[in-house]
Structure 1
Amino acid sequence: MKAYVFPGQGSQFVGMGKDLYEQHDEVKQLFDKANEILGFNITEIMFSGTDEELKQTKVTQPAIFLHSVAQARVAKDFAPDMVAGHSLGEFSALVACNVLSFEDGLRLVSKRALAMQAACEANPSTMAAILGLEDEKVEEICAAIDEVVVPANYNCPGQLVISGSNKGIEIACEKMKEAGAKRALPLPVGGAFHSPLMKPAEEELAKAIEATTFSQGICPIYQNVDAKPHTDPTEIKQNLIKQLTAPVRWTQSVQQMVADGATDFVECGPGKVLQGLVKKIERTMEVSSAI
């Protein structure tokens, strides 16, 4: 069974999507439509902007979404048995499996990016990658700190990203090292994604999601909040709203997909981050990039 997976923030690079744009009229139409919906020329920034321009949340999230959806549209024999997306990638996955239209997906991604940016500015906060500790130990240390610090991304065994207040992350990194973590590395991000500090962004996005039409997809989507397969549009909406303040259960999602029969994982979008994570979670899996 074939699983298609879609990356999140951090996979962007200058020049992303240019080859697809030049080779496929359908992709060119998607990019033109994106420029119109967003109200700025995202094509230009993606193809020839600076790293700094591409790093702005309001640009990064739509850029990765656009690249991922475009790749899925022109992929050979695109017929997923299941899909999943890492954080932002969940929106790309929903468009690829026909739960959301491209236009609605892009509008939601743009709203999400702006809401997250506003939440970051209102409440300075950050994230850190913890390497080489058991998930349970990381959870235990976070719970014992008298600040906002929570597990945010369960990326693969031995790699968990935590999220919280600046002070909380600083204390947590010290305690993680004392507990034997190989690395406790603060990340160059502007805020505490997938933590309670994103509550204002969640409330903002909830209104937009509730007002958007979600359809029955062509296959189940394994969602970040519970790592389970979903096909019911109402359930999918609720899980997508919770996603901004809840952890990304990527390890558990891949494990569940494998348990449900996945044999091949195909990554749709820029980079190969998810292929690496899938291999760390389940070595026997076939991984590749969508062509």
Structure 2
Amino acid sequence: MKKAYIFPGQGSQFTGMGKGLYEQHEEVMRLFDMANEILVFDITAVMFSGTDEELKQTKVTQPAIFLHSVAQAAVAKDFHPDMVAGHSLGEFSALVASKVLRFEDGLRLVSKRALAMQAACEANPSTMAAILGLEDAKVEEVCASIEGEVVVAANYNCPGQLVISGTNRGIELACEKMKEAGAKRALPLPVGGAFHSPLMKPAEEELAKAISETTFHEGICPIYQNVDARPHTDPEEIKQNLIKQLTAPVRWTQTVQAMLADGATHFVECGPGKVLQGLVKKIDRNAEVSSAE
């Protein structure tokens, strides 16, 4: 039996996240204290008692989900992954849990990533939309047909659920065309930018420098990365894929399919929420899923 540990991305945050782990484990308390010091603000207080609005701030959301995910993996029973993967931001959590990155380095990169993405969003107002009930190829075709605007497939979440990313006008036009093409729904998302699209290029360039200056180690198992849905163990390859991740699509459907093909029999989600467990079941209804204990 092969266990695949998976780590969620942005959007899974909630007030009180990580509090139970913090109160039960000294090791988690130490990670939270270290995070407060590295980030130079009290992320513990925001996670435990902040408002939804406070938790939605990019500089808070990404480090908060990362911290919760890594803490849960650190104290999980029988944490011996045969493979790991993370959805977008979750890839950083997966790299720390699998010992490719030290916690401190992972947190610093996540913080830089959040701020760089926020700056890119402010420089280029843009957005995303969820397209439900269309084949991936049709979604890609519609995106390519939008002239004079940036519109790309950004998140391949599961069959029939694909998120597109681009300029505000481009997404508006694409949503109309997706409905005409037979999409059940085309829903603009309440996000501040076009993540996983060429509009994130400035953030990618900024993060590339930070990643290149960070030491990556040989991990305890392969990580299936977002950009190509393939297993990687070479630290240099992992670095390059992580740099490309901000402007490339998240190939989650393909990642889960590859893990299944390589023998994954049980998917364990580490972090807030159960979003990834739901996506795994939509990709393969026979897959065994659970939250980390």
TM-score tier by shorter-chain length is over 0.9
Distance 1:42 1:163 in 2: 29
Partner of 2:240: 238
Query: For 2:264, what is the secondary structure of its paired residue?
Result: coil
Residue-by-residue CA offset, 1:135-162 (whole Å, 9 max, x unaligned): 0000000011111000000000000000
| Residue aligning to 1:266 | 268
- Equivalence for 2:167: 165
Distance, in Å, in 1 between the alignment partners of 2:223 and 2:26 is 28
1:275 alignment counterpart: 277
Matched ranges for 1:180-219 at <5 A = 180-219=182-221
Q: Distance in 2 between matches of 1:132 and 1:31?
A: 41
Q: Deviations over 1:240-266 (max 9, x none)?
A: 000000000000000000000000000
Q: 1:238, 1:123 → 2: CA distance?
A: 25
Deviations 1:97-127 (A, max 9, x none): 0000000000000000000000000000000
- Which residue number in structure 1 is paired with residue 114 of structure 2? 113
**Is the partner of 1:263 in helix, strand or coil?**
strand
Alpha-carbon RMSD across the aligned residues, in angstroms, is 0.2
Q: Partner residue of 2:177?
A: 175
The one-letter amino acid of 2:284's match is E
1:3-44: per-residue Cα shift (whole Å, max 9, x none)?
A: 000000000000000000000000000000000000000000
**Pairing 1:21-60 to 2, within 5 Å after superposition:** 21-60=22-61
Q: Which amino acid aligns with 2:272?
A: P
Q: Structure 1-normalised TM-score?
A: 1.00
User: How far has the Cα of 1:272 moved from its partner?
Assistant: 0.0
| Alpha-carbon distance in structure 2 between the residues aligned to 1:56 and 1:31 | 18
Question: 1-side partners of 2:146 and 2:185: how far apart?
Answer: 19
Write the distance in 2 (CA, Å) between the matches of 1:282 and 1:99.
28
SS in 2 for 1:87: coil
Structure 1 residues without counterparts, runs of 5 or longer? none
Q: Return the alpha-carbon distance in structure 1 between the equivalents of residues 284 and 214 of structure 2.
A: 36
Q: Provide the C-alpha distance between the structure 2 equivalents of 1:203 and 1:220, rounded to a whole number of angstroms.
A: 26
2:96 alignment counterpart: 95
Whole-Å Cα distance in 1 between the matches of residues 164 and 59 of structure 2?
22
Amino acid at match of 2:282: K
| Structure 1 position 202, deviation (Å) | 0.1
SS at match of 2:229: coil
Which residue is 2:141 aligned to? 140
State the alpha-carbon separation in 2 of the partners of residues 254 and 179 from structure 1.
Answer: 27
After superposition, what is the alpha-carbon deviation per residue over 1:29-72, rounded to whole angstroms, capped at 9, x for unaligned?
00000000000000000000000000001100000000000000
Match of 2:249 in 1: 247
Match of 2:76 in 1: 75
Mark the runs of 5 or more structure 2 residues left unpaired by the alignment: none
Mapped to 1, the partners of 2:145 and 2:290 lie a distance apart of 40
Shift of 1:280: 0.2
* Aligned equivalent of 1:65: 66
Q: How many residues align?
A: 291
The residue that corresponds to 2:126 in the other structure is 125
Paired letter, 1:101: R
The Cα offsets for residues 257-290 of structure 1, whole Å up to 9 and x where unpaired, read as: 0000000000000000000000000111100000
Distance 2:216 2:54 in 1: 32
Q: Distance between the aligned counterparts of 1:285 and 1:156, measured in 2? A: 14
| Structure 1 Cα separation of the partners of residues 174 and 82 of structure 2 | 40
SS of the aligned residue for 1:181 comes to: coil
The reply to whether residue 2 of structure 1 matches residue 3 of structure 2 is yes
Query: Distance in 2 between the 1:56 and 1:125 partners?
Result: 17
